[in-house]
Structure 1
């Protein structure tokens, strides 16, 4: 898992190339390289082959951002699944890769890997919140695996977050307040919160040392992430007579025949209710999030050797400890649990659990760049560790409020180690680079039953699962400038992968804990890349990029099995021989600079063998299970158009707009043949994003933003499509912001997201209309 420099590294003085600080253009960089879309002040920090987008302060000023992932919400054909402010499961999606395929996105902060390749799902989103939004200098995004410098987890794309350098004595402070009125079903409330970013940096006068200390604090109330449905009860005995249940007619899904005639009605869960949707009896209440992040960055730069050390700590507490029960009995008492009678039928109210999740995690890393003979050498090494991750959940509502029984899940030791060595040699028209990367990912999770869910009193062992994967890689890449107008880059990557020390434990029939171990697995892959770039004229460039990539299974995808009562593995519950994902990719770019307007067109294609995805279907033994399985073949292709305008039509007007059309389908799925030919789950056909910024005066800026994605399929069969809770709906958000610069050091801003109060869903509800106030100070 690696981060590499652009095509030119910081060069040793002996080559005659100019010294380059982090963020300064490499010696062979073209300052007006129109194949990198976005900000023009700084060069992109990752190899820009395929569609490459770099966002800087100009774009950030046009965004209402509390979490750092908010800064890229207008990026082209890109998506962040953020349910509410402070959502730690903010999964990114590229083109036809959804947030449920987190293992296909390589994310780095200052070159240190923060991708969570412990599994492949929403719960394994990258660790974006290790950096606050006020620290970010730029976001670089590359779509697809078109450079051999990066592991196959870049199959979807790469994101690198670069924080500000310490160039002088400095300080900054930002405070934010936000609020969201929310009205859905029987819940009507306003949720609010605040955040603060601050820090200082010191640079040694006439010396090589620098230091930065920074921190971020957030406390947020989010809208309810879940609503609870009544379940049909068996038997004729009546329950407590109640009122207040809410029927949402949009929870009905129309499953059409070939001629378009609706034949079946069903809830998102798939329960058939004879043309009557299940009533909703409660919301899970507010999502209360508290986050605390601190970071120390130590730098050294004497003009020849540059080094940096980083330590970042992150604390996250997420509580769902309130339930908004809609049901009332004859005495107007709340009813949150048990057998009830309403709407002429008997039901069971269940699932109103209370929960708390606490995490303490840290990132530590070091990187060194220096000339060694004719080579520019760079070494990056880091580790991310979960010092504490505990989840406590009650067994129902009554147990929750009375500190009764529940479950307790403890993680640890869990985390990863990564290393990356790069050597680059620059000749007159040739840049040759080669290197090695290494990674180790490990997880260990134990689940207990407890008599007091919140204090996890008297824990009783239930299950434990654990395992490791490691990957060693060698790569080489050569960029050759054949003429002033034509360059070719060819690369090759070799990966050696191993999964080991995996196992599962549970209580046996005699009460003893029994462990079974997974067999060690090994695999390898050779992945080539090829890219050609041609300048048709000084303002027009074309680039064709081809690649093959291999993404090996994660710990969680492999070590997911269950045990039988005798302690042996249930062979139907897992597939220890999941194959790696292998993709063939192509991307054609055409870019034209018209002066005040730059247009970039992109056509892409990807075909993946053995896509790993969790769904209900036949396992390797022909038994129906819900687990990670291999989809034989998927493919996606599409077209993207990006426009960047500065001082366009009128002075002071800047526009960044993009649109994408794509077709992403399951070609063949032997585990679930009914899904053959179906548009892939959670992927929209259309995406549009735009951000318009107008300098009303030299000190006042007005901003409008828009985000749109068409309605995708909610399930892998393409049968569930809806625009309500429980579905992946169409997304439309119109945003606005006003920035005021009071003086050189002070600024304030006010913004609103989702002005039209569109009610959209990603299974869970998205935020409704939200307001943000911010004040910032810099030294």
Structure 2
């Protein structure tokens, strides 16, 4: 053991010398390869993993229509992916006890490097850094039960592993897709395509390297619509007589008028990802690897008005009437917008690779937004507008960890698996808004800004103790120190600076498992997770049109105390897991929108919408989850992955800031979720599959006033059928055809989900 100590000390010193260390790394100690998909099976898992897990390999992912990396979670148990369209940069994760309004409760890692973006409200994981063709497997854990993971794991943790070459390998795929979408009498097609290439090799020296390229060109269906409450009866003075106004009922049951797809509704996006990786076995026991990734996006957002005047010309703004009601269409309703983005991620890893005994690892990464310019015109006539700049925003991570894998008769008695580590993070956000005479030109002096920094330092330790042949106790502790500093707001000509804040989190963990028989595993897991507020939640104060947004620099951390009871039964070709879970979150962080300025205090009382972030005193969630996996079901070559979840209760139980929320269901957590995927391989070269995704209704209003959820703006039920067929023409070439949402069912997560989408795919490999 003494020959490892200097190395561990050197790694610790190197990590502590970094300007910023890590917010957690999904290391090999936590997620080793899993060989059984869709279940909580511990086959292949490191014995210190204390929670339920679901997994899919690259081969299994080719049994579904996978275009973007987040599609890998499309059928994951008790999970919602709010992917609004192919190429969506804000595909948010929701899980057992949290909705897509709490994106910071999900962790996503790529080869151990954090790609979760804890900077803003709708800053989803940076899925764009993953080349779909390079994915080897995807693993997902539930809940805050591991001391090795940071407080954001109170929801869901996803680990994406890219494949490492063993010899020369070349592969690629070309996908074309077409979506049919109709809404409010408008029927159109939206097309796109993707090219993904992968190359890798391992030399005799042990040096390996890969290069991945992904290019995507897609156009979305309309994401939002310009609406207004039922108008004033009669014809207003000077109003333009128009046709095309459509009427429906909004989520709260009120009649409304719809004027068209507005607010940058239709997104045409061009995206490119380059991912370079390499590794080298320095000694038989020491390995180094590195990665460098770049992603860029060029988006043009356009709108479509439904309104036509007497001559048939389009009407984009002003006072209009259909002869019965009159409305004012704001200048900005159908104003165009554009965004140019360029991101970079660099990372390096140094690990020892011993089959038993002590191992050490050091992982560092730097994620930097090199360019982020969001341009918004003030009117459909273009001209003046605003430019929002987030250049230089990003985060740095690193982690040093030591672990012990037992051997029979060692100093632990061969029954203890140990892990301990140190990490620290550094997040920086600078969001500046400036007026521009030409919205596509140079910005003037900034008139709005919010910026700040957060960092977390943590230490942790965990021991998985097999104190009897059939019993294992995993216990751990995580201590975290949070600092927010450099906070500043510029609004209405006034700059406000905020004092440095310090918070501390204590996270005990424990899990007890019992192998009742060779085929039955019973377990109970308890754990606390502490999720600290992000920069945007602390310092974002902006005014956009008639919407006032305010933050809270005094936000508390949200604390989850969770428990899971699980039973898992395996047969020769089947696995069934049943899990009961309960989650109590104190000081839950929620961003809410209201028309009441007393709920979201503001110096302005004339706005139409007030958005603020506040702590909700207590939210409790209780539910049950079933996951079933079967092979050769009913006939040879037939596989099944099925899951179902029922949430008995997910409610606000205390909230002194807004007592009217008490007793209401927590936002965007549906009562039911289910997914089924059936795969049939009638011949070696043929594969047919069908998938079904279900989600029950959920609430989008903190007072549960949205009584009509299955419309634009609501959080609707989802019942969608997906189909796929693939034929391996040769050993190197595969053709596939597929369709998502085959029945063209309309569904909403505030924004509309895609309509029926057809896919054609050509894939080659050596």
TM-score (norm 1): 0.88
- Cα distance between partner residues in 1 of 2:292 and 2:307: 49
> Structure 1 residues 732 and 45, CA, compared in 2 at 3 Å: closer, same or farther?
farther
Over residues 143-202 of structure 1, what are the superposed CA-to-partner deviations in whole Å (9 max), with x where a residue is unaligned? 101000011010101001001111111111110000011111142211101001002112
- Cα distance between partner residues in 1 of 2:745 and 2:685: 32
- Cα distance between partner residues in 2 of 1:687 and 1:32: 22
- Cα distance between partner residues in 1 of 2:702 and 2:480: 31
Q: Which residue in the other structure is 1:307 paired with?
A: 288
- Cα distance between partner residues in 2 of 1:627 and 1:549: 24
Q: Is the 8 A contact 2:175 2:193 kept in 1?
A: yes
Report the CA distance between 1:398 and its aligned residue: 1.9
Q: Which residue in the other structure is 1:152 paired with?
A: 151
Q: Is the 8 A contact 1:700 1:740 kept in 2?
A: yes
Map 1:333-344 → 2, pairs under 5 A: 333-344=313-324
Q: Which residue in the other structure is 1:530 paired with?
A: 510
- Cα distance between partner residues in 2 of 1:425 and 1:703: 42
- Cα distance between partner residues in 2 of 1:590 and 1:496: 35
Map 1:491-506 → 2, pairs under 5 A: 491-506=476-491
Map 1:293-332 → 2, pairs under 5 A: 293-301=273-281, 302-321=283-302, 323-332=303-312
Over residues 350-406 of structure 1, what are the superposed CA-to-partner deviations in whole Å (9 max), with x where a residue is unaligned? 21121111110011100111269952001111011100001001112122xxxx111
SS of the residue 1:397 aligns to:
coil
Over residues 318-371 of structure 1, what are the superposed CA-to-partner deviations in whole Å (9 max), with x where a residue is unaligned? 2213x2221111111111111111141221122112111111001110011126
Q: Which residue in the other structure is 1:125 paired with?
A: 124
1:211 corresponds, among 205, 209, 212, to: 209
2:736 corresponds, among 734, 741, 749, to: 749
Q: Which residue in the other structure is 1:80 paired with?
A: 81
Report the CA distance between 1:124 and its aligned residue: 1.1
> Structure 1 residues 223 and 619, CA, compared in 2 at 3 Å: closer, same or farther?
closer
SS of the residue 1:306 aligns to:
strand
Q: Which residue in the other structure is 1:580 paired with?
A: 557
Map 1:428-507 → 2, pairs under 5 A: 428-455=414-441, 457=442, 459-506=444-491
Over residues 74-133 of structure 1, what are the superposed CA-to-partner deviations in whole Å (9 max), with x where a residue is unaligned? 0000111000000000000111211111111111000000111113x2x21110111122
Q: Which residue in the other structure is 1:631 paired with?
A: 616
- Cα distance between partner residues in 1 of 2:669 and 2:238: 44
1:59 paired with 2:41, answer no
Q: Which residue in the other structure is 2:697 paired with?
A: 711
- Cα distance between partner residues in 1 of 2:37 and 2:513: 11
- Cα distance between partner residues in 2 of 1:744 and 1:583: 50
SS of the residue 2:665 aligns to:
coil
Report the CA distance between 1:505 and its aligned residue: 2.5
* Structure 1: gaps spanning 5 or more residues: 10-22, 26-30, 255-265, 267-275, 509-513, 564-570
- Cα distance between partner residues in 1 of 2:567 and 2:751: 38
Q: Is the 8 A contact 2:251 2:713 kept in 1?
A: no
Report the CA distance between 1:412 and its aligned residue: 2.4
> Structure 1 residues 325 and 32, CA, compared in 2 at 3 Å: closer, same or farther?
closer
Q: Which residue in the other structure is 2:221 paired with?
A: 223
Map 1:331-730 → 2, pairs under 5 A: 331-350=311-330, 351-370=333-352, 375-399=358-382, 404-427=383-406, 428-455=414-441, 457=442, 459-506=444-491, 508=493, 515-561=495-541, 573-615=550-592, 616=594, 626-662=611-647, 663-721=649-707, 722-730=709-717
Over residues 61-83 of structure 1, what are the superposed CA-to-partner deviations in whole Å (9 max), with x where a residue is unaligned? 22101111011100000111000
Q: Which residue in the other structure is 2:757 paired with?
A: 770
Q: Is the 8 A contact 2:33 2:45 kept in 1?
A: no
Report the CA distance between 1:277 and its aligned residue: 2.4
> Structure 1 residues 642 and 282, CA, compared in 2 at 3 Å: closer, same or farther?
closer
Over residues 554-603 of structure 1, what are the superposed CA-to-partner deviations in whole Å (9 max), with x where a residue is unaligned? 1111112469xxxxxxx994432111101111011100012222110000
- Cα distance between partner residues in 2 of 1:628 and 1:279: 29
1:189 paired with 2:202, answer no
- Cα distance between partner residues in 2 of 1:766 and 1:714: 15
Q: Is the 8 A contact 2:629 2:640 kept in 1?
A: yes
Q: Is the 8 A contact 1:233 1:339 kept in 2?
A: no
SS of the residue 1:286 aligns to:
strand
TM-score (norm 2): 0.90
Report the CA distance between 1:493 and its aligned residue: 0.7
- Cα distance between partner residues in 2 of 1:33 and 1:591: 13
Aligned residues: 716
Over residues 617-652 of structure 1, what are the superposed CA-to-partner deviations in whole Å (9 max), with x where a residue is unaligned? 756979995311000000101000111000111100
Q: Which residue in the other structure is 1:287 paired with?
A: 267
Q: Is the 8 A contact 2:48 2:464 kept in 1?
A: no
> Structure 1 residues 115 and 486, CA, compared in 2 at 3 Å: closer, same or farther?
same
Report the CA distance between 1:694 and its aligned residue: 0.3
Q: Considering only aligned residues, what root-mean-square deviation do their CA atoms show, in Å? A: 2.4
* Structure 2: gaps spanning 5 or more residues: 1-22, 407-413
Q: Is the 8 A contact 1:7 1:431 kept in 2?
A: no
- Cα distance between partner residues in 2 of 1:458 and 1:472: 38
- Cα distance between partner residues in 2 of 1:676 and 1:436: 39
- Cα distance between partner residues in 1 of 2:37 and 2:731: 31
- Cα distance between partner residues in 2 of 1:476 and 1:602: 26
Report the CA distance between 1:233 and its aligned residue: 6.6
1:734 corresponds, among 721, 727, 737, to: 721
- Cα distance between partner residues in 1 of 2:508 and 2:429: 31
SS of the residue 2:744 aligns to:
coil
- Cα distance between partner residues in 2 of 1:46 and 1:464: 48
Q: Which residue in the other structure is 1:142 paired with?
A: 141
